[in-house]
Amino acid sequence: MGLQMYHFAFASLLVLVAVRLHSYSKLSARPPGYPPGPKTVPFLGNLHQLPIKRPELTFAKFAQQFGAITGLKFGCQNVVILNTWQAVHDLIEQKGSIYSSRPTNAVADIVVPNGLNPGVSVYGDLWRWQRKTTMEFVGGVRTDALKAAQDAESTQMIHDMVITPEEFEHHVDRSFGAAILATVYGQRGKSMHPGSKLHDFFAVNAQWAASLGPTNSPPLSVFPFLDSVPDWLTPWRGWRKRAMHVRREQQRVYGGLLDETRTRLAQGKGTDCFLASCLRAQEKDGYDDTYLAYLAGALLEGGAETSASATMVFIMAMAANSDFLAAAQEEVDRVCGASRLPGKDDVAKLPYIRACMLEVLRWRPIIPLGIPHLTTATDTHEGLTIPSGSLIFINIWKINHGDSLYDDPGVFNPDRYMQNAYGSGLDDNATRGRRVNYSFGAGRRVCPGQRFAENSMMMHFAKLVWAFDFQPTGHLPVDSWDGWTEGIVVRPRDLKVSLHLRGEKRRKTIDDAWLHANEFLQQFE
C-alpha cells in the first residue's frame, strides 16, 4: 500500500511538471499574427539562437531574412526588434502612448525599487515627473547655459593629457563625470583617484552594470517559474544578496552626494545646479530625498560613461584615419588659430567636427540596442500583431548600418554629414519624420541628455584635435569586436593610441586656458 502511494505521488508530480512544461512550451510559441522571425523551439523559443555577445549583429542578420520588424520569443517573453527608422517612427514615435514603458527586471527591482531610476521606471506619473524635471534642466535651449562647465572641464582634460598623455582614457572619463557633477550637484570632480567622489561613483556604477549582466541573475521574465526554484540550486545563487549590496552602495554614494549639495547650498554655494532647483521645488512636487538622490544619480549614470565611450570611439577613428584628422584640425585651426583653444562659443562654427561627432555615433553606436521599451497594449501594424507586454528593441546598430540608407555604411566617413544633414542622399520626402540620429533612441523615452551630450562632445572633440595628433601604437579594433567592452554601453578598451602635442605654442595656450578654467571651476569646490 505504501509503495502504491509512493507511485501515485511520483506520477502526480510528473504530471504536474509535464503540465507546467507544456504550458511554458505553448507560451514559447509565436502568437497568431506575430511579426515574422526564425523558427522557435518548445520552451526556449529563440533563446538558443541568441549569442551572449553582440546580439544586435545577430538581430541584423535576422532582419535581412525577415524584414524591418522581427518577432522573437525568449522563452515565453515576446521580443520585437525594430530594424529600420521607418518602423521606429511608425511604432515608437507615432504610437508613443503604448510603446513607452520599460520592462521590469529582477535585479533592478532590488537595486532601484519603485521606479527610482528614470531609465527603468514604468510609464506613469513618477516617470512623467522624472522626465519633466530632467528636461527642464538638460533639454532644450536651457542646456546651453551648462556649456561653461563643460567647456572648463574639457580644458582640464586637455591640460591633464598634456601632463600624462598615456592616461587619456582616465582623463576622458573624469571630464564627462565632472561636467555632470558640476551641473547636476554643483560640486567639483577635479580628480578621479581612489577616495574621490568620481572614483566612488564609477566603482558603484560598474557594479550596477555588472549585476544587470545576463549571467548574474535568473531571467525571470523569460522563465517566470525560476522564481520558485530555491536559490541555492541555481547557477545565480546569491544574486539577491549581490543586488542588495549594490543597492546599499548606490544609496551611500547618491545619498552622500545629495547631502553635500544641501550643505553647500546652506553655505550659499552651487545655487544654480540641478539639485538646487529640485530641492527648491521639493515641497510642491512632493518627492522625498530618495527620489531626488536617485534622479540626480541617474543623470550621472546616463551622462558620464556614454559620452566618454563615444569620445574613445572618436579618438580611435581619428588615430585610424589621418585624412579625417587633418580635415578636422584644418577646421579648428581656421576658426581658432594656434593661440586660442576651441570653446563653447565655437560649437556652432565647427560643422566638420559636428560631422565627425554624428559619424562616431552612427558608425559605432555606444548603446547598440538602446534600452528596451515595453508595450502596454496590443497593437496591430500592417497586418502584424504585437501583443501587450512585448519587449521592443530599437536595433540602433542596424538602423545606422542600413545599406539602403547609407553608402558604405561600414566605413567611417564624416563627409557623408557634410554632403547631407542626415548623412545620406535620400531626398527630403523620404526623410520626413526621420531623426538625424537614432543613437539616442526615439519616442517619448528618447535620451533627454542628447543636447547636453552633443554640446559636451563637440567641445571635447574640437579641443582634442586642436591639441593633439593621434597615432596608432598597435592594433585598433576598427573592424572587429575583440577589444571592445560588453554590456549595455560599449567602447573600445585599452586603445593603443599615442597622443602628440601639436607644437610648443599650443602648450602655452593650454596652460593659459587651464588657469581660467581652474578659476571658473573653483566655485564647485
Retrieve residue 56's grid coordinates.
Answer: 544586435
Please, which residue, 45 or 303, has the CB nearer to ligand HEM? Answer: 303
Buried b (16+ CB within 10 A) or exposed e, 349-365: ebebbbbbbbbbbbbbb
Q: How far is the CB of 185 from ligand HEM (least distance, A)?
A: 12
Shortest Å distance, C-beta 476 to ligand HEM: 20
Contact between 183 and 486 (Cβ < 8 Å): no
Positions in the binding site for ligand HEM (CB under 6 A): 118-119, 131, 134, 138, 298-299, 302-303, 306-307, 310, 366-367, 370-371, 373, 394, 439-443, 445-449, 452-453
- Residue 364 or 506: which CB sits closer to ligand HEM? 364
Q: Which three cell numbers stand for residue 460?
A: 571635447
- Residue 46 CA: distances (Å) to CA of 74, 373, 459: 6, 19, 44
Residue 20: half-sphere exposure toward Cβ, Cα within 13 Å: 10
Q: In terms of CB distance, is 30 or 491 closer to ligand HEM?
A: 491
Q: Which residue has the cell 497594449?
A: 377
Nearer to ligand HEM, 38 or 303 (CB): 303
| CB of residue 140 to ligand HEM, shortest distance in Å | 13
Paired with 374 in beta bridges are 101, 391
Kindly state the helix (H) or strand (E) to which residue 78 belongs, with its residue range.
strand 77-82
Which CB sits closer to ligand HEM, 180 or 325?
180
**Residue number with CB closer to ligand HEM (61 or 132):** 132
How far apart CA 124 and CA 130 sit, in angstroms, is 10
For 343, the grid coordinates are: 570653446
Residues in the chain: 525
C-alpha cell at 17: 511538471
**Minimum CB separation from ligand HEM for residue 299, in Å?**
4
Strands, E assignment, 342-477: 373-374, 379-381, 384-386, 391-394, 468-472
Residue 212 CB, shortest distance to ligand HEM, in Å, is: 14
Distance of CA 319 to the CA centre of its chain: 24
In the complex with ligand HEM, the residue whose CB is nearer, 305 or 346, is 305
Q: 327 vs 453, which CB is nearer to ligand HEM? A: 453
Q: How far is the CB of 370 from ligand HEM (least distance, A)?
A: 4
Distances (CA, A) of 459 to 301, 349, 356, 466: 20, 11, 12, 10
In single-letter form, the type of residue at position 122 comes to: V
CB of 4 to ligand HEM, least distance (A): 58
- Closest approach, Cβ 463 to ligand HEM, in A, equals 17
